[in-house]
Amino acid sequence: MVINDDLQTFLADWKSASPYLEVQTSGSTGTPKRITVRKEQMMNSARLTCEYLGLRQRDKALLCMPLRYIAGKMMVVRSLVAGLDLVVREPSGHPMADSDLPPLRFAAMVPLQVYNTLQVPEERERLCQTDILIIGGGSIDRELEERIQKLPIRAYSTYGMTETLSHIALRRLNGPEASTYYTPFPSVKLSLSADRTLVIDAPLVSDETLVTNDVAELLPDGRFRILGRKDNIINSGGIKIQAEEVEEALRAVIPGGFAVTSVPDPKFGEAMVLLVAGEEDAGMFARIGPILPHYQHPKHIFRVEAIPLTGNGKIDRAACRRLAKQLRNGQWTIDNYFKNIILI
């Protein structure tokens, strides 16, 4: 196992006498923060994943994500708990780029890493030699999921957060077991709050019941799917719009980076804003109309150089709101974006 500086530091913290570790949240919906967790609970989480996926001693596992976040830390803990042979690569957008990468039993990546890997034939071939892939840290769009469905491996989307010490549920992306719903680990109990957000009772990894901001649909058998985040609901003129649902619809017509957010508005309360990165494509805006119902049409469309992202590649929702507000305050407004389009 190659040991770089970050890994050496983590292992030193892990082997210390303290039963606790500090971990950092990603900051996808607000200011990143550090929280204290028990090493025992991290080991419990590692066992749940290894048992579910059937990982065994000496299986080769790839660490290719930053160790400052829980996803990277948990790959190390899984290797320690299950005796996996950890293959370490510097975090990058192309984790399969090394020609000397051995065939892997297990790898964990963010969607961007998977997307980049599938663009390069040699890297895609190395991914196809990996038995099991889990993908977390961001949403998987329809196009990427369709490409993953063609891979001859076991691929899963994960659901979880720093507070649950990585994931507490998996969704199979390909093969006969593919599903649009996540299946929680057996020890995890789920329910919905009055706001229909997911409530997680996972005693092996968290001392507290977690009331998330994720608006969910929960089936009687415990499986669930996430509709979006409560704090990403835009209340525009009394109509509640889930930003993630609009983004999912728009992926069919916007090929580059974009994000849906909102700004305060005297007429609507909140006005939906579409931030679009990259080169101008006037035809794209004409294609948006038929995709969305009228009440989901953006009130403002801003062209930006890049969509704000967190350190692990998620859309930085708080930064998007700040950026949209700054652009809105500096520009004139429109009620019907088909008449006028604001391009920055």
Scanning the structure block, which residue is given the tokens 């794209």? 284
Residues 177 and 32 in one domain: yes
Distance of CA 37 to the CA centre of its chain: 21
CATH number at residue 300: 3.30.300.30
Residues 89 and 177 in one domain: yes
Binned at pLDDT 50, 70 and 90, residue 311 comes out as: confident
Alpha helices in 199-341 (DSSP H): 243-250, 282-291, 317-329
pTM to 2 decimal places? 0.77
The residues that bridge with 137 in the sheet, in sequence order, are: none
Q: Is 315 helix (H, G, I), strand (E, B) or coil?
A: strand
Q: What is the pLDDT of residue 68?
A: 87
Distance (Å, rounded) from C-alpha 99 to C-alpha 173?
A: 27
Residues 157 and 36 in one domain: yes
Kindly tell me if the per-residue pLDDT of 190 is higher than 70. Answer: yes
Kindly tell me if the per-residue pLDDT of 16 is higher than 90. Answer: yes
In the chain, how many domains are there?
Answer: 2
Task: Give me the domain span that covers residue 56.
Answer: 5-186
Tokens for 83, please give them.
Answer: 């005796």
| Residue 12 burial (C-beta neighbours within 10 Å; 0-12, 13-18, 19+) | exposed
Residues 31 and 131 in one domain: yes
CATH number at residue 182: 3.40.50.12780
Residues 56-69 have a mean pLDDT of 95
Domain boundary among 170, 186, 202: 186
Residue with the bigger pLDDT between 311 and 309: it is: 309
Residue with the bigger pLDDT between 179 and 311: it is: 179
Report if residue 230 sits inside a domain. Answer: no
pLDDT tens, position by position, 260-291: 999 998 888 999 999 999 776 777 778 888 88
Binned at pLDDT 50, 70 and 90, residue 341 comes out as: very low
Q: What is the pLDDT of residue 2?
A: 47
Report if residue 310 sits inside a domain. Answer: yes
Q: What is the pLDDT of residue 289?
A: 84
Q: How many residues does the chain have?
A: 344
Residues 152 and 253 in one domain: no
Cα–Cα nearest to 62, from 130, 153, 162 = 130
pLDDT tens, position by position, 204-258: 999 999 999 999 999 999 999 998 888 899 999 889 899 999 998 998 888 889 9
